[in-house]
């Protein structure tokens, strides 16, 4: 099996990193990897999406340089490239993780004005 592409630490791009984290599923993956502080088996994320959808998200994060992917037998493991990102963009990862955690419990339209009438109130979805 061919080894997947991982950008070098020196070629990490801020725009690519931010673009990769523009999806709620990828933000959740980022939080889980940061909290684990170790590689996680890709199969452990199946509660977030289908396998094919997760492969897409993992590829986006890997191509941006956020994560590294390694194979062990039939399993694949995902790890946060914390040291590489910290070297290129000091403090960025901690800020992104803290912001993503705060966003987890906020409604999608939390910045809009509150409805004045209870009849106007609609249930709000939560970001993952």
pTM over 0.85: no
Q: What is the pLDDT of residues 79-121, one digit of tens each?
A: 999 999 999 999 999 999 999 888 876 765 444 444 454 445 5
Q: Is residue 126 part of a domain?
A: no
Q: Is residue 96 part of a domain?
A: yes
Burial (0-12, 13-18, 19+ Cβ within 10 Å), 93:
buried
Q: What is the pLDDT averaged over residues 8-33?
A: 92
**The domain that contains 59 carries what CATH number?**
1.10.10.10
Distance of CA 2 to the CA centre of its chain: 24
Q: Is residue 115 part of a domain?
A: no
Q: What is the pLDDT of residues 26-42, one digit of tens each?
A: 999 999 999 998 899 99
Number of structural domains in the chain: 1
Identify the pLDDT of residue 4.
75
Q: Is residue 37 part of a domain?
A: yes
What phi and psi, each to the nearest 5 degrees, are found at residue 50? -70, 165
Q: What is the extent of the structural domain holding 66?
A: 13-102
**For residue 52, pLDDT beyond 70:** yes
């Amino acid at each position: 099996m061919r080894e997947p592409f991982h950008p070098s630490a020196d070629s990490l791009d801020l725009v690519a990193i931010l673009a990769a984290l523009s999806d709620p599923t990828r933000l959740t993956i980022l939080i889980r990897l940061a909290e684990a502080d170790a590689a996680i088996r890709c199969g452990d994320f199946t509660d977030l999406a289908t396998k094919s959808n997760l492969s897409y998200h993992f590829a986006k994060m890997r191509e941006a340089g956020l994560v590294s992917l390694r194979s062990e037998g039939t399993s694949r493991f995902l790890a946060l490239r914390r040291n590489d990102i910290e070297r290129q963009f000091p403090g960025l990862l901690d800020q992104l993780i803290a912001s993503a955690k705060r966003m987890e419990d906020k409604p999608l339209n939390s910045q809009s004005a509150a409805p004045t009438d209870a009849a106007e109130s609609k249930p709000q979805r939560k970001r993952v």
